[in-house]
Amino acid sequence: MTTDTTLALDVRPMAGTIGAEIHGVDLNQTPSDDLIQAIRDVWLAYGVIFFRNQPLEPGVFQAFAERLGEVVEYPFVKGLPDYPKIIEVLKLPHERHNFGGVWHTDTAYLSAPPMATLLIAREIPPKGGDTLFASGYAAYEALSPGLQATLSTLKAANCSAKAEVTKTREDRVADSATEKANQPLVGEHPVIRTHPETGRRSLYVNPAHTTHFVGWTEEESKPLLDFLFAHQVKPEFTCRFSWQPGSIALWDNRCVLHNPINDYHGHKRLLHRITLKGDVPH
């Protein structure tokens, strides 16, 4: 759906296949329904969208998120005392691992992974700390017809306890774990996912959580998964975002991977994260 409001937005595409910045919007002023729809249209078109200079207090940030979908709690880390559905994405100067510092889609190990994730930057290191995003649409569309057909028959198992990602949660689980933090979760999802709103198909595996194809052993799965993991993050499928305090990112977890770069040791980085409820992948 395209509206007159969409056409009035200052939308600046960031790369060839994914990502756009939206300028000229003040999210501290309660957005109209038309503006929310326009923002949603751009988000569906580009996979991930960004706003600059939006110093939203937690309550305003959550209210904006609630206009886009149903806010849900993250399973492993406790939220803010007054806003339990907002978690801190934090790395302290003495820590070596950054939260979620590996290519992934959020919580793919759930039976109904989130529709979307929002981040707002609070404290940013003097340099570094960018986030990369990759298009599952572009990755799928670049595969050969034969491999597309083969993958469309497969499901993959996704586990919360895969070593690549658990180490990125260690510091936050150590100081703010929930009761679920030590309970491995596993979700089985189609390798090729059809987006419920756009109808487009995307490659839906990720290095952080995907362990094997259902009905295959891990040894049998590894060569093909390794190919797909490398393929889905080719530079031409990605964009890169440099944060500033007050920057906001909103990405579509159903067709976008992301990877926060861990290149700012010795500095603090703090963002606030909100997760929006999703559906069962098909």
State the Rg of the chain over Cα: 18
Q: Of the listed 122, 201, 258, 269, which one is catalytic? A: 258
DSSP 43: H
Rounded Cα distance between 58 and 67, Å, is 14
Our CA angle for 214, 135, 240, nearest 5°, is 130
Rounded Cα distance between 138 and 239, Å, is 12
Residue matched to tokens 């569309």: 141
Q: Of the listed 40, 122, 272, 273, which one is catalytic? A: 273
DSSP 85: T
Contact between 264 and 127 (Cβ < 8 Å)? yes
Integer angstrom CA distances of residue 123 from 196, 244, 247: 35, 8, 10
Rounded Cα distance between 211 and 278, Å, is 22
Give catalytic status of residue 67 as yes or no.
Answer: no
Q: Of the listed 104, 122, 189, 209, which one is catalytic? A: 104
SS3 per-residue string spanning 258-270? EEECCCCCCCCEE
Give catalytic status of residue 212 as yes or no.
Answer: no
Contact between 204 and 191 (Cβ < 8 Å)? yes
Give catalytic status of residue 258 as yes or no.
Answer: yes
Q: Of the listed 40, 106, 122, 272, which one is catalytic? A: 106
Give catalytic status of residue 104 as yes or no.
Answer: yes
> What is the set of active-site residues?
104, 106, 258, 273
